[in-house]
């Protein structure tokens, strides 16, 4: 039987271990979620709103404890961990505050006699498969709208953040969420596949790698189950020749190195017009040097360790491949001689198509800077990627920036800013970055039955 394990990435120390559920326990979890769905979907909306409001309040009340757990389990600097908890509370508040608006009947203006409305209703038990890089935020994006809607949830979290996963479940219980409406399940992949096949399970949401998304999509497709996949990204950060280079360089460093670069929407490919390339690179290197790795429990630390030594090794292999084929390292690029999964802020240039780092996602504190001879080439480089999640365009000319943004093949784009998230902004991508949308009103409609109720004519 496998295990879910807390290993402190700052020290390498194993802190706690939790056994996988048995096959019988996995089946029981589905049974309870199915039973709970029948009552939760009929629970008054006001009552569901009140529970979700309490979930938000408890996140704020327990901020220090919750933040400390993700710092322990995946190395997020404590200041960034606190910010994640606050963002999560805002997401639960947002769906509670807008529930009546989002779930109101839509009256259709039809040509025939009588009336027609579309009702937004739940569909059943959902499975969430979530990653470690934002342990609370990823769950909130999925759970908040679906709890409000009336679906029930089985949540498989990442193997390296089991205590964070249990903390989420505990907060939900303390908020008054009924038994079976949300359950953490330390399941393995085979058990998840069996759970997806259960007819009571009607949808699956996964945030993770392309490989995991493909596997889940294949299983869900065979079972004709709805799925949302939020996968990787290799976001382009385009710097046009009229950009404010100081602002662009400062934003670039934050966009690349926050959360130790372990974000699907992190800025990863910096595409700079040739006439300002050298100046931008100089300013970016200056900003990047300020991101010094340190103890993630310190309020002063901006760059913590990666989530694990295995994650660091994946990053190192991509960088070593690029350097071995002729790329230039301007900053960082060497594993420090110290305990833990630390890696320095790293900046590369000269990355070409034959190098893995050109097309693969660098999930860590490493940036690739490209030189573009023209605006058209900058757009072409940005689009020469299997991914299409988010991106940025920097220019003092907003009309020009918006035109360029319109030509970038991505689900989200920001002008004169790095990609950020908020409860009222839809989140999702195109191409290998996944399918579906989360957050805003889009998030509550992904796993909803949009039921037409038609009354052709008045009753006699």
CATH number, domain with residue 88: 3.40.605.10
pLDDT at 457 (0 to 100): 82
Residues 115, 156 share a domain: yes
- In this structure, the answer to whether residues 326 and 405 fall within a common structural domain is yes
Q: Is the pTM of this model over 0.75?
A: yes
**227 plus 244 within the same structural domain:** no
3-state helix, strand, coil in the chain (%, to 5): 45, 20, 35
For residue 426, which of 72, 232, 99, 145 has the smallest C-alpha distance?
145
Residue 365 lies in a domain: yes
Residue 108 inside a domain? The answer is yes
> Which has the closest alpha carbon to 98: 49, 63, 61, 147?
49
CATH of the domain at 407: 3.40.309.10
> Domain check: are 211 and 302 in the same one?
no
**SS3 of residue 159 by DSSP:** coil
Q: How far apart are CA 250 and CA 166, in angstroms?
A: 37
* Domain annotation covers residue 420: no
Domain assignment of residue 167, yes or no? yes
Residues 209 and 328 in one domain: no
Structure tokens that stand for 142 in this block: 């999925």
Instruction: Write down the residue that tokens 């910010």 correspond to.
Output: 83
Residue 346 and residue 267 share a domain: yes
Clarify whether residues 269 and 187 are in a common domain: no
Query: Mean pLDDT in runs of 10 for the chain (460 residues)?
Result: 95 97 98 98 98 98 98 98 98 98 97 95 98 98 98 98 98 98 98 97 97 94 96 97 98 98 98 98 98 97 98 98 98 96 98 98 98 98 98 98 98 98 98 98 98 84
Closest to 30 in 3D by CA, of 155, 144, 157: 155
Q: Give pLDDT, residue 458.
A: 67
Say if residue 260 is in the same domain as residue 281: yes
Instruction: Quickly count: other Cβ atoms within 10 Å of residue 65's Cβ.
Output: 11
Is 223 in the same domain as 249? no
- Is 427 inside a domain boundary? no
Q: Are residues 251 and 145 in the same domain?
A: no
Domain presence at residue 460: no
Encoded tokens for 34? 């199915």
Query: Is 156 domain-assigned?
Result: yes
Q: Which residues are catalytic?
A: 230, 264
Q: Which one, of 316, 302, 232, lies nearest residue 260 by Cα?
A: 302
Q: What SS3 state is found at 115?
A: strand
Could you give the CA distance from residue 321 to residue 256 in angstroms, rounded to a whole number?
Answer: 20
Q: Is the residue at 216 inside a domain?
A: yes
- With b for 16 or more beta-carbon neighbours within 10 A and e for fewer, the 387-410 pattern comes to bbbbbbbbbeeeeebeebbeebbb
The boundaries of the domain holding residue 353 are 235-415
Count of the separate structural domains present in the chain: 2
Alpha carbons 119 and 321: distance in angstroms, whole number = 54
**Co-location of 200 and 279 in the same domain:** no
Q: Could you tell me if 157 and 242 lie in one domain?
A: no
């Amino acid at each position: 039987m496998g295990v879910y394990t807390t290993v402190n990435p700052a020290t390498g120390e194993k802190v706690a271990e939790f056994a996988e559920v048995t096959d019988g326990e996995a089946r029981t979890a589905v049974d309870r979620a199915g039973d709970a769905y029948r009552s939760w979907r009929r629970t008054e909306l006001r009552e569901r709103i009140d529970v979700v409001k309490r979930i938000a309040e408890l996140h704020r009340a327990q901020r220090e404890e919750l933040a400390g757990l993700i710092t322990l389990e995946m190395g997020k600097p404590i200041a960034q961990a606190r910010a994640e908890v606050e963002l999560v509370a805002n997401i639960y508040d947002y769906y509670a505050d807008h529930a009546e608006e989002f779930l109101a009947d839509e009256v259709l203006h039809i040509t025939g006699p009588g009336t027609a409305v579309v009702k937004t209703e739940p569909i059943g038990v959902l499975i969430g498969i979530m990653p470690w890089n934002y342990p609370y935020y990823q769950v909130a994006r999925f759970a908040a709208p679906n709890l409000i809607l009336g679906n029930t949830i089985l949540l498989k979290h990442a193997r390296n953040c089991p205590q964070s996963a249990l903390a989420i479940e505990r907060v939900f219980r303390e908020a008054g969420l009924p038994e079976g409406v949300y359950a953490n399940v330390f399941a393995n992949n085979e058990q998840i596949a069996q759970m997806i096949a259960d007819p009571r399970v009607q949808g699956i949401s996964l945030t993770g790698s392309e490989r995991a998304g493909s596997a889940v999509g294949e299983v869900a497709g065979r079972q004709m189950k709805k799925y949302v996949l939020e996968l990787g990204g290799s976001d382009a950060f385009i710097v046009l020749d009229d950009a404010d280079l100081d602002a662009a360089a400062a934003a670039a460093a934050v966009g690349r190195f926050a959360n130790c670069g372990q974000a699907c929407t992190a800025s990863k490919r910096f595409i700079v017009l040739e006439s300002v390339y050298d100046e931008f690179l100089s300013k970016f290197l200056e900003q990047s040097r300020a991101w010094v790795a340190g103890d993630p429990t310190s309020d002063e630390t901006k760059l913590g360790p990666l989530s694990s030594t295995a994650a660091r090794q994946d990053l190192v292999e991509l960088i070593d491949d690029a350097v071995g084929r002729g790329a230039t390292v301007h900053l960082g690029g060497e594993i420090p001689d110290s305990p833990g999964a630390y890696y320095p802020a790293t900046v590369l240039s000269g990355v070409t198509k034959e190098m893995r780092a050109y097309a693969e996602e660098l999930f860590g504190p490493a940036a690739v800077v490209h030189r573009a001879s023209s605006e058209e080439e900058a757009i072409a480089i940005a689009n020469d990627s299997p991914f299409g999640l988010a991106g940025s365009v920097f220019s003092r000319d907003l009309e020009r920036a918006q035109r360029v943004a319109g030509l970038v093949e991505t689900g989200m784009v920001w002008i004169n800013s790095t990609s950020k998230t908020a409860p009222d902004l839809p989140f999702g991508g195109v191409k290998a970055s996944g399918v579906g949308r989360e957050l805003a009103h889009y998030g509550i409609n992904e796993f909803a039955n949009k039921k037409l109720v038609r009354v052709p004519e008045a009753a006699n």
